[in-house]
Amino acid sequence: MKWITLLALLSLLPSCAPMNGYATFVLGPSSSVTRSQSMNIANAYTQMRWTPSAKNISHSLDRDDILVHTPDHQLSNHGYANGWWWADRENASMPYQWGGFDTPESFLRKIGSGHAAGDIATAEKRTAGDAAVSKQAAGIDCSGFVSRCWRLSRPFSTAQLPAISTPIRWAELKPGDIFLNDKHVLLFAQWAVPGSAVLCYEAGPFPQWKVSAARIPTELLFAQGYEPRRYTNITEDPS
């Protein structure tokens, strides 16, 4: 994918309302969500700051015999790419966790109690599904992230999101809509170049295992089978 830096992208995204602290800004479950709420929630995940310690690193089995690989700087030593966070340093954005559904507030609480900071997706986890979700890790995955941005009461998987959304035309895309294929989901923010590139938020492996903002060519989304969809209960912001 064609990526630009998070800082550069955020300067292009729609301006967000002032946040009353990122840890508490992620709004709770609701029967609906406005487009600006969805964008503000997404932004809160990218803007959060946290300082882990060595106890938040894991490259071994957890207490339930689930293998956990945190996306820290040691990840490459275990055969995987895109490790990024460092112990005893301030890090930005929430890490990816297979099956994760944390808010910034719950993530910070878990990190403080010694949970693993993230858990990357692997071929084995994709095969095992929910059985590979670690209760001793913290973070959020791609569909959990969209579920939070839509203020859902529980995480909806990529397979479940079609039940609460409808297909739309590319020309109809608005902030808070999604791109969905059978493996991944991205949250649309706005057009970068109308018709040829979009700005999106996602929790995924690119460019790193965390919630990131990216500029993506539409030809790549076409090639990977992404379909634009709209949450049934998203509402327009008051004029």
For the segment 117-158, what is each residue's pLDDT rounded down to a tens digit?
A: 999 999 999 999 999 999 999 999 999 999 999 999 999 999
For residue 220, name the pLDDT band (cuts at 50, 70, 90): very high
70-82 pLDDT tens trace: 999 999 999 999 9
Say what the pLDDT of residue 239 is: 79
With a pLDDT cut of 70, the percent of the chain lying above it is 90
- Give the CA angle between residues 195, 221, 237 to the nearest 5°: 60
Kindly report the pTM of this predicted structure.
Answer: 0.91
Alpha-helical runs (H) found in 11-131 = 22-25, 35-47, 104-112, 123-128
Distance from C-alpha of 119 to C-alpha of 101, rounded to nearest angstrom? 12
Helices 142-149, 35-47: crossing angle, 10 deg rounding: 130
Each domain of the chain, given as residue ranges in start order, spans: 1-239
Is residue 176 within 8 Å of 192, Cβ to Cβ?
Answer: no
Structure tokens at 61: 């089995």
